[in-house]
């Protein structure tokens, strides 16, 4: 903890009555409440854990920071510069299950969500993909809508079926596992 001394001015015409001790710029910025090192820790806690979990963990580390403070530290630094994606994944997701769906586009190299489209119409996905000419690989499910959108927007891009969707239904999997065990023992 850093303690700054306070000085008081006794002059009657002085506009400022209280003066605080200044530190070097590398130690503490003027009017700062945290050192750069503590600010760095607070920022990374907010990035890694979010609001409430980061606040709980910060309390265990004896770092005085509320959940709002942690989120403000993340917002203050802003997001890193956007690197155009080369390999993306596209799939639908539910805004509200059985009522409203959207399209999720992820950068598979950096494992980050880069776009949430308001619906799952192929036209919306095609419009977004047509602005991203650098994309070379698109992982998608087997639905025809996204396949058509990718083929129209990025005719040279390689379309890859998402391997999660290649798994057979669970009842077939159990049968295959049983068959495999029988072959190993017999």
DSSP track, 1-18 = -----EEE---TT-S-SE
- Sign for the pseudo-dihedral over CA of 144, 147, 152, 153: positive
pLDDT in tens, 76-93: 887 777 788 999 999 888
178 sits in which H/E element: helix 170-185
Mean pLDDT throughout 116-141?
90
- Of 157, 166, 97, 79, the closest CA to residue 125 belongs to 157
Residues in the chain: 186
CATH number of 87-165: 3.30.420.10
Where do the structural domains in the chain lie, given as residue ranges? Answer: 6-77, 87-165
* Higher local confidence (pLDDT), 19 or 108: 108
């Amino acid at each position: 903890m850093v303690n700054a001394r306070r000085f008081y001015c006794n002059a009657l015409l002085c506009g400022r009555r209280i003066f605080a001790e200044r530190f070097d710029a590398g130690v503490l910025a003027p009017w700062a409440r945290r050192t750069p090192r503590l600010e760095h820790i607070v920022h990374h806690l907010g990035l890694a854990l979010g609001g409430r979990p980061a606040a709980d963990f910060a309390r265990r580390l004896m770092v005085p920071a509320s959940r709002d403070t942690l989120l403000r530290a993340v917002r203050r630094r802003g997001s890193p510069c956007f690197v155009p994606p080369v390999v993306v994944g596209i799939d639908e997701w539910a805004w509200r299950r059985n009522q409203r769906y959207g399209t999720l586009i992820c950068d598979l190299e950096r494992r980050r969500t880069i776009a949430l489209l308001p619906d799952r119409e192929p036209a919306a996905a095609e419009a977004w993909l047509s602005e991203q000419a650098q994309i070379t690989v698109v992982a998608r499910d087997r639905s025809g809508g996204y396949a058509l959108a990718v083929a129209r927007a990025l005719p040279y891009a390689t379309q890859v079926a998402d391997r999660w969707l290649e798994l057979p239904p669970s009842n077939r999997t159990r049968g295959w596992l049983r068959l495999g065990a029988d072959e190993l023992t017999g």
